[in-house]
Amino acid sequence: MQNRINVKEIYSKAIDINFRNLFQPVIPHLDTTGKIAQVISALTEAVTVWFICQSELSGLNKFVSVFLSIAAVLLVVSAIELGGRKGIQVLTRAIVWKRLKSFWYWALFIPVLIITGFLFFQSFQLSTKGTNQTFKQSIQFAAVFDDTPLYGRHLDNTDRINTKYDKQAETIKAAYTANHTATATTYQSRINAIDSKLAEHRRNKANGVKWAQSHIDKQAGTRNKILTDKAAGLATLTVDHNNDIKGIESARTNELTIEDEMYQAAINEGKTAANSNHQAVDISH
């Protein structure tokens, strides 16, 4: 007598808690095959990301480039394999079992949907346009503008302006020195003449001449007035000289300011023209 055992497969129903769990595999008995495929895919992604990072970081220190490449491999592979594939499972179960009836399921579903969509987009970009189009770099190429001729002309104009006003200042200073010396000499000659008369009157006083003192007082008053006039005259010359120098420096500053503004305007105009030409070249390419 033969005993026969009939094995009958019993499928879990939709109400089974495991099948209703969004984070369980859609087809449980294919999970092992999926994991093997996932490992192969992860290795492919790791190699791809490694070579991309090594190429992009070739200018850095070897230790730094290796460290950053390993970190990028771990982050990208974990994001795609753990996040992307699990995200697809979550989305599939959400659609199959219509579990999006609770706030908490929506709270889980929406972030996973966003992440999965982004990873799908990146995968599509990688598979259709290549890594050069997916991992883009925004590099700004500055339009080359050589301001050497403008700068040289600016220096020449600046030197010419300074030379002109330096000569004017030297001329005024020489005139001031000459006037100051002549004025001081004139007053000093008058003072010397008064001093001679004072000496004579003092001798007369010593000899007993009665009117000598009155002449001494008169000449002393004249001498003091000459000293006062001398100080006032020299002070006037100094004030006039300082005002002339201030006028020269003010004119120098104004002319240098105008030159600086013209130089800056020329620089801006040149840069604008260079940028326009650069953009035209970019458009033509």
What are 82-121's pLDDT values in tens digits?
655 655 566 656 655 555 566 656 666 677 677 767 766 7
Residues 207 and 94 both lie in one domain: no
Q: Please say if the pLDDT value at position 27 is more than 70.
A: no
Is the domain of 217 the same as that of 194? Answer: yes
Instruction: For residues 153 and 265, state if they share a domain.
Output: yes
Tokens representing 45? 């992604």
Amino acid at 36: I
Q: What is the DSSP string of 18-51?
A: HHH-TTS-SSGGGHHHHHHHHHHHHHHHHHHHHH
Tell me: the pLDDT tens digits for 38-49? Answer: 677 777 777 777
SS3 content of the chain, % helix, strand, coil (to 5): 80, 0, 20
Q: Which residues contact 83 (CB under 8 A, 6 or more apart)?
A: 115, 116, 119
* 168 and 113 belong to one structural domain: no
The answer to the question of residue 4 being in a domain is: no
CA atoms of 54 and 68, how far apart (whole Å): 9
In a domain, 3, yes or no: no
156 and 58 share one domain: no
Q: Which of 71, 100, 134 is the last residue of a domain?
A: 134
Is 143 among the domain residues? no
Kindly state whether residues 44 and 86 are assigned to the same domain: yes
How far is it, in rounded angstroms, from Cα 104 to Cα 165?
82
157 and 268 assigned to the same domain:
yes
121 with 153, same domain: the answer is no
159 and 250 in a common domain: yes
* 93 CB neighbour count, 10 Å cutoff: 20
| pLDDT higher than 50, residue 62 | yes
What's the mean pLDDT in 221-226?
88
Strand, helix or coil at 149?
helix
- Indicate whether 5 belongs to any domain: no
Tally of structural domains, the chain: 2
What does the alpha-carbon distance between residue 180 and residue 170 come to, in Å, rounded to a whole number? 15
- Which residues lie closer than 8 Å to 206 by C-beta, 6 or more apart? none
The residues near 13 (Cβ < 8 Å, ≥ 6 apart) are 19
Evaluate whether residue 2 is within a structural domain.
Answer: no
Residues 166 and 279 in one domain: yes
Return the exposure string of 273-282: e unless at least 16 CB atoms fall within 10 Å of the residue's CB, then b. ebeeeeeeee
Q: Rounded to whole angstroms, what are the CA distances from 100 to 36, 91, 250?
A: 30, 10, 80
pLDDT tens digit sequence for 127-137: 555 545 445 54
Residues 208, 158 share a domain: yes
Predicted model pTM? 0.43
What is the model's pLDDT at position 208?
Answer: 80
Domain hosting residue 122, numbered range: 17-134
Same domain membership, residue 164 and residue 74: no
